[in-house]
Amino acid sequence: MFTRFLEYIGAGVLEMLYFVGDITIFFWQTLQQLPKRLRIRHILHQMSHLGVDSLPIVSMTLLFTGMVMTLQMAGEMIKFGAESTVGGVVAIAIGRELGPVLVGVVAAGRVGSAMTAEISTMKVTEQIDALRVMATNPLGYLVVPRMLACMVMVPLLTVYGDFIGVAGGWLVAEKYFSIPGHVYWDSILRFADGADFYAGLVKAVVFGIVIATVGCYYGMRAPAGAEGVGTATTRSVVTAIIVIFLLNVILSWMLY
């Protein structure tokens, strides 16, 4: 019984190490394709699909997050006479953590799953093999445009989400807690600085790379058949979200 338990643990460790090594090689091979021909039209198409189409869900997520955060926090701060710090606290929390992390999670669920489903379907229907027959590298044709699009659009969505989240906090602070708008916005200028938002953008760039790499990796490695497409998509979303949370801890420790 104990031996079987150790075998189970060992198999899990070996599988994880294989995954880390394989996806690292996949990422390095993708980077090698970057200096080669860039398909601008494909990149712009992916930016529109992955970024612009994500604006509604990002808006709702960050707006409600800013509103709920202010709703939970402002009342307690008013009790201690600290209502003049509400805006600064909301801005710092959203700029440093909530903005990039929530945008990353939303993008992993919407964008990462779409990448995996699209590429895995191409693999199952042998379209990727057709690219190789035409002497076209699938990484340069499929993965590079998506990675560059995510590296650009996830930070832009984060900037947009930061503003929406702070604005949502302002609505609750002014309309529900009767905190004057100038007090709310002035506290942001006094307590938050550019580093709080710049570091969040660094996180967003890393999260964009993670989403594209994980999504495309599982698409390229999808098992055969329709069931394989669903399995790859599920694994892609779960893995990307876990990696985002893990890297968020590491990046927060390094940046702050």
SS (H, E, C) 64-116: HHHHHHHHHHHHHHHHCCCHHHHHHHHHHHHHHHHHHHHHHHHHHHHHHHHHH
Tell me whether residue 105 is in a domain. Answer: yes
Is pLDDT of 242 > 90?
yes
Q: How far apart are CA 207 and CA 218, in angstroms?
A: 16
Q: How confident is the model over 117-142, as pLDDT tens digits?
A: 888 888 888 888 888 888 778 888 88
DSSP assigned state of 135: T
Query: What number of CA atoms fall less than 13 Å from residue 160's CA on the CB side?
Result: 18
- What number of other Cβ atoms are within 10 A of residue 54's Cβ? 22
Specify the number of domains making up the chain.
1
Q: How confident is the model over 145-203, as pLDDT tens digits?
A: 888 989 899 999 999 999 999 999 999 888 888 888 888 888 888 888 878 888 889 99
Tell me whether residue 37 is in a domain. Answer: no
Structural domain containing residue 126:
46-255
Tell me whether residue 17 is in a domain. Answer: no
Query: What confidence category does residue 248 fall into, taking pLDDT thresholds of 50, 70 and 90?
Result: very high
Tell me whether residue 35 is in a domain. Answer: no
Is pLDDT of 224 > 80?
no
Query: What confidence category does residue 103 fall into, taking pLDDT thresholds of 50, 70 and 90?
Result: very high
Q: Comparing C-alpha atoms, which of 112, 235, 90 is closest to residue 165?
A: 90
Q: What angle do CA 198, 155, 34 make, to 5 degrees?
A: 110
Tell me whether residue 236 is in a domain. Answer: yes
